[in-house]
Structure formats: C-alpha cells, structure tokens
Amino acid sequence: NNNIMHIIQTYSQLRSYGLNFCGGYLSPLVNWLSIALSGLLLKEYNPQIPLCMYTNFELKHIFKDLFLLPYDTYFILDDIKNEYRDFYCYPKIQTYSMQNAPFLHIDCDVFCKEALKKRLLTADLVAQHEENDSNFYMLVLNHLKSCNAIIPDYMRVCFGENNIHSYNAGVLGGNNVFFWKEYIEYVKDFLSSNANSIRKSDKKFLYNVVFEQWIFYALAHTKRIKVETFIKGVVKDFVMPWGTVPDQVVEANNHPYIHIMNYKSHPRCNSYIIRQMYRKYPEYFDRILYVCHKNDICQKITLKGIANSEYEKRAIEYEKISNGDLLNSIISISPDVKFISNKKVSTLPDKKECKQEGYLKTYNTYLAQNVYIKYDSVMTNLLKIFRKPIRLNEIITDLNPFQQEYLITSIRKGLFDNVLII
C-alpha cells in the first residue's frame, strides 16, 4: 500500500566479506548482534508497522535463512560499482531511491526501546536531530575545497560563519515521497559533477556526510519543508546533552534511544550489545552464535561461558544497585586489570602509537578477550585509590555534590567495564 508508513533498514557490504565482517565493531559476532538487536527492538515496539530490510543476496540469506530475523520483506540492492564502493552510506542512497511510500529509515546501530511517536509517523520529513558543527564538518568542507570540489549554490544554506548545519541521518525519512525523488536527483548530480575531485581525494569517506546529510538539510531548507526530529534541540559540535554513547550505555534504561555512531570500537558499546541480545532475545543470540561458531567465527564466546561467568552475575547486580547501597559497598580494582606502563604501544584500538597513560587492560567476558579501555586522567587517578579495597562512603564525605555525582558515575562505569568490583 503506497499510503502506509514503512520502517526500513539497509545493510549491504561494499565488498563481499560474508559472515567474517566486523563492520567497525570488535568482532563479527557483535556486528551481527547489532543488526539483529536494532531490528528486533523496532519490531517489538512497532508491531503494526511493516519492517523491511534492503540488502544483497548473500546477506539476505544470512539474515532470513540463518538468523531468522523478523523482517516482513527483503529487497535486493544493485551491486555498487566504481568509486561508489568507497562510500559507506551509498547503499542507503540506493534504498532511498527505491521508496514509493512513506518511510522511516533507521540505521542498524540504532537501538530504540519505545514506539515511534505519531509526530514522526505523520511528518513530511524526519531526521534524528539537527546538527551545528564547527570542527569535523569544517574539516570536511576544507577537504572539499582542497580537492576543487564543486559545491552547489543551494548548499550554501548549510554554511554559517564558523559552523555548518546538517541533520543526523540515524533516522531519516518522512511522508513527502516527492521530496525523496528530487533529493536522489540532487545526490546524483553532486556525485557526477564531482567525479574528478572524488577520484583524486585521499579521504573519500568525508564525502558521505555531504551527499547524504548536507544535501538533505539544504534541500529541506531551500524548499522550506519542516523537518521533524526524533531528538529535539540542536546538537552542537557532536556533544550530546545527555552524554556520549559510552556514557549512555552504562545506564541504558535511562536512554530508550541509543545510536552507536562512531563508537563501534569502544569495548563498552560492544559489551552493551552482547548483554542486550543475550538477556532480551536469547533465542536469536543462540542462533546467531551457533551460525558464527559453525563458520569458525568467535569460537571463544559461548552461551555457557557468559551465563556462568562471575562477570555476568556481577553485572546484573551492579545494574540494580542503588546509589545508597553503592556508597556502603567496599570497592576494589578487579584482579583482571593491568595499568599499562609508559611504553609506547601500537596495538590499541585506534592503532596509533601513543603514551599509555589513561589506558587499562582488562578481560571482557562478553568478548572473551582482553580489551584496552581509555579513561580520562581524572578517572585513571581515581581508580588507583581502589588498589586497596575501600568503602565508598569513606572517600565521598569531603566532596561537594558535583564531585560526588562524578564519583558515583565513574564508579558505575568502572563496574560496567569489569575494572572495579564490589
């Protein structure tokens, strides 16, 4: 029915990797669990709205026949050729181009634990949130200029004096189907007119935000079409008012909407996804884990290992503990933790050589491997207090309310990360 709103998702590898693909996460298993968790939550909280996946033949087989994910319909995307293979969001452009009915496109690293609101389902245009950035987006603009990219006049509405306006595309869509037909033509024009500049660019990934998000912002504003945003307010310089994603997942119940975005390599976000799937959708978790094991992926991770681990038992207790009980608890550094020496090491998650101050090494049961976690210097020094077991009340009495809140929040992060134990 061309009048019914659909929830749609896109997942299509730019090159064929099959099951052995991390997608930016710390293991292929987490990648597949992320996609499953996103879709399962959308289906659970919006059971009356059709849920569709746009993908390729190989991945359709994985999602539909092996994982048995609950998508109502699968659509097959064309193979991506030439330089478009360098654009991680180009499959989404393909998906937008195939829409003839109202839709909300929701990324596969978005976890939404609530029903989509009527204001979103009935709006002309929808985005996750409005952005105003003076750092990363300015780097993107400067790179475009260095490549002699052609920036269309209509896009100048995005550019402030020292900042750039955009919309985040974690959620994107709406009821104005004609807008999307026109949007696709603008994207095609931009890419074709900039074929030379794209070809000589050594940072092609920077073009993604331009042809997906900036063109959406510019076209919506030029046509004066109101964009309803999932998250109200303007996010400046990518600083979310409710904390970074690794902060949000520590108290996930307080955040019904989490978009992992550029934190896929953060151990805490990987743990969050595994925990959520293991506890909330154990049948799907078991099936995906079985498929991965059968294909020699993630052999160390087992359901039995997670279920019987002290880490998992403690994690459940920590999530339920009140601040009052936490203050009366005796806390110490986990025996798994190693404070890294001052040697320069290049095996960290960001793969750059750096001084190890602020990095801890600990064992992550959910990933069945050692992980490196980076804390700020205040947090690192705070943790050293717990080298000897100490009751939290003993160190909080002389702190002001702000410091007390920071301490409790920091302790909860440490407990989540298996850096601290009670």
Output the tens digit of pLDDT for each of the chain's 422 residues. 568 899 999 999 877 788 999 999 999 999 999 999 999 999 999 999 999 999 999 999 999 999 999 999 999 999 887 778 889 999 999 999 999 999 999 999 999 999 999 999 999 999 999 999 999 999 999 999 999 999 999 999 999 989 999 999 999 999 999 999 999 999 999 999 999 999 989 999 999 999 999 999 999 999 999 999 999 989 998 888 788 999 999 988 889 999 999 999 999 999 999 999 999 999 999 999 999 999 999 888 988 889 888 889 889 889 889 999 999 999 999 999 988 754 444 444 444 444 445 688 999 999 999 998 888 888 888 888 999 999 999 888 888 888 888 889 999 999 999 999 99
Residue 354 has what pLDDT?
43
Contacts of residue 418, defined as CB under 8 A and 6 or more positions apart, other chains included, come to 311, 314, 334, 336, 337, 362, 363, 364, 365
Beta bridge partners of 20: none
Model pLDDT, residue 13: 82
Cα-Cα-Cα-Cα dihedral sign, residues 93, 269, 280, 28: positive
Q: What is the pLDDT of residue 1?
A: 55
Q: What is the pLDDT of residue 346?
A: 44
Contact indicator for 196, 78 with CB cutoff of 8 Å: no
| pLDDT given for residue 273 in this prediction | 97
Q: How far apart are CA 98 and CA 100, in angstroms?
A: 7
β-bridge pairing 338-339 and 359-364: antiparallel
- Distance CA(47)–CA(404), nearest Å, equals 42
Helix (H) or strand (E) holding 43: helix 28-45
pLDDT of residue 358: 66
**pLDDT for residue 404:** 87
The pLDDT of residue 357:
52
DSSP summary character for residue 345: B
Question: Do the beta carbons of residue 164 and residue 151 sit within 8 Å?
Answer: no
What's the pLDDT score for residue 352? 46
